[in-house]
């Protein structure tokens, strides 16, 4: 009877130890999984920070090049068509910054000077010996002032845009007015390109009468505006160029929106059309500051987030090892117990 009780205690102790090993294995698996998951998140957020920094830095270079053109116009006071074209070509802005669809000189034209303005452009033979005999500010309307495209670079294939009144389109007009009041660079947000009819955006930089200084009042800025330097962008081409042919972020997908309303109407750029961000469990939002405008970037992981196969397999290795050890322990103890019984 004593021996029977001893055997029962031995079996109970063995099962208790086996259970402890199983519980320890489970917790080791959970802890290792949490560590790997946290490392995955850390890598993800580091790549997110690198992506945001790349986009912001490269786009700032685009803005810097346009600011240079704006400074040239400001310094000259009055700029001719040939000077506009020569400056842009000399700096190679279009070649160095793919995604810029066109660089446009917009002139503020009063109702009283509309006819003389149109005639001066028609008679301009500085680049074209025939001038621009069909030039006219359009669409036709009766108002106090117009904001017409006077110069555009490159001109080839875009001749029909000469004379287009930017204030005839509500979204562009609103952003021009904001830029005019503040004297600061302003982004249009998502718009449709006049030529390609594809999504893009534009940047306005106002320039004023030569006697005007930026510290003057809003009223003086409104009255002394001479026009805008405007850069039109093809969003897809620009962002693809910024990222580069060899994508440094193969584990990330991202979408750029013109504001925090993440809808198809506000979508500026989708990095991977074959991947749906909502399918990813790990995602975040960041912002891009475009002077007066803030864009929102929705970013998600679409892969292993740079972890090695061994790092991903580690929790399962811990689980398999723990279970293997636990069952080997149980088998050995039961085997020894069976041997003990057969010897007695």
Q: Are residues 25 and 108 in the same domain?
A: no
pLDDT at 85: 93
Last residue of a domain, one of 239, 271, 292: 239
Q: Is residue 1 part of a domain?
A: no
Residues spanned by the domain of 331 = 7-71+315-344
Q: Is residue 211 part of a domain?
A: yes
Q: Is residue 28 part of a domain?
A: yes
Q: Are residues 129 and 214 in the same domain?
A: yes
pLDDT at 292: 67
Return the higher-pLDDT residue of 49 and 191: 49
Domain count, the chain: 3
Q: Are residues 89 and 226 in the same domain?
A: yes
Q: Is residue 245 part of a domain?
A: no
What percent of the chain clears pLDDT 90, i.e. is strictly above it? 29
CATH number for the domain that contains residue 108: 3.30.450.350
Q: Is residue 320 part of a domain?
A: yes
Q: What is the pLDDT of residues 238-281, one digit of tens each?
A: 888 888 888 888 888 999 998 888 888 888 899 988 888 877 77
Q: Are residues 32 and 152 in the same domain?
A: no
Last residue of a domain, one of 215, 239, 263: 239
Distance (Å, whole) CA 329 – CA 144: 93
Asked if the peptide bond before residue 139 counts as cis, ω within 30 degrees of 0, the response is yes
Q: What is the pLDDT of residues 169-215, one digit of tens each?
A: 888 889 899 989 888 888 888 887 766 677 788 899 998 886 655 55
pLDDT at 108: 95
Q: Are residues 267 and 291 in the same domain?
A: yes
Q: Are residues 66 and 103 in the same domain?
A: no
Last residue of a domain, one of 239, 271, 296: 239
Q: Are residues 87 and 193 in the same domain?
A: yes
pLDDT at 7: 60
Residue 118 banded pLDDT, cuts 50, 70, 90: very high
Report the 10 Å Cβ neighbour count for 69: 20
Mean residue pLDDT of the chain comes to 83
Task: Return the top range by mean pLDDT from 64-73, 111-120, 289-298.
Answer: 111-120
Q: Are residues 133 and 272 in the same domain?
A: no
Q: Is residue 2 part of a domain?
A: no
Q: Is residue 46 part of a domain?
A: yes
pLDDT at 81: 93
pLDDT at 54: 92
Distance (Å, whole) CA 112 – CA 162: 20
Q: Are residues 182 and 279 in the same domain?
A: no
pLDDT at 324: 80
- For range 56-74, the mean pLDDT: 88
Q: Are residues 93 and 232 in the same domain?
A: yes
Q: Are residues 85 and 64 in the same domain?
A: no
Residue 340 banded pLDDT, cuts 50, 70, 90: low
Q: Is residue 194 part of a domain?
A: yes
pLDDT at 220: 78
Q: Are residues 224 and 184 in the same domain?
A: yes
């Amino acid at each position: 009877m004593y021996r029977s009780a001893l055997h029962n205690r031995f079996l109970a102790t063995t099962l208790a130890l086996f259970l402890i090993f199983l519980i320890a294995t489970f917790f080791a698996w959970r802890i290792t999984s949490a560590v790997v998951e946290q490392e995955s998140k850390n890598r993800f957020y580091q790549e997110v920070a690198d992506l945001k920094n790349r986009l912001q830095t490269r786009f700032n270079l685009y803005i810097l090049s346009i600011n240079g053109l704006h400074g040239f116009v400001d310094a000259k006071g009055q700029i001719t068509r040939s000077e506009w074209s020569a400056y842009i070509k000399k700096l190679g802005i279009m070649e160095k910054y793919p995604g810029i669809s066109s660089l446009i000189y917009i002139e503020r034209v009063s109702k009283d000077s509309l006819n003389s303005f149109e005639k001066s452009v028609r008679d301009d033979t500085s680049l074209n010996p025939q001038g621009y005999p069909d030039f006219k500010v359009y669409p036709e309307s009766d108002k106090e002032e117009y904001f017409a495209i006077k110069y555009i670079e490159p001109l080839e294939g875009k001749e029909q845009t000469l004379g287009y009144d930017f204030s005839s389109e509500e979204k562009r007009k609103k952003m021009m007015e904001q830029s005019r009041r503040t004297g600061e660079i302003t982004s249009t947000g998502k718009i449709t390109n006049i030529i390609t009819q594809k999504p893009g955006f534009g940047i306005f930089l106002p320039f004023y009468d030569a006697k005007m200084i930026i510290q003057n009042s809003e009223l003086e800025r409104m009255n002394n505006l001479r026009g805008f330097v405007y850069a039109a962008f093809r969003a897809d081409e620009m962002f693809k160029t910024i990222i580069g042919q060899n994508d440094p972020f193969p584990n990330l997908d991202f979408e750029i929106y013109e504001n925090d309303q993440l809808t198809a109407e506000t979508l500026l750029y989708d990095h991977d059309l074959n991947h749906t961000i909502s399918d990813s469990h790990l995602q975040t939002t960041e912002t891009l500051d475009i002077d007066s405008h803030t864009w929102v970037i929705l970013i998600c992981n679409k892969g292993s987030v740079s972890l090695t196969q061994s790092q991903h397999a580690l929790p399962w290795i811990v689980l398999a090892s723990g279970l293997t050890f636990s069952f080997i322990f149980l088998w050995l103890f039961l085997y020894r117990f069976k041997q003990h019984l057969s010897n007695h």
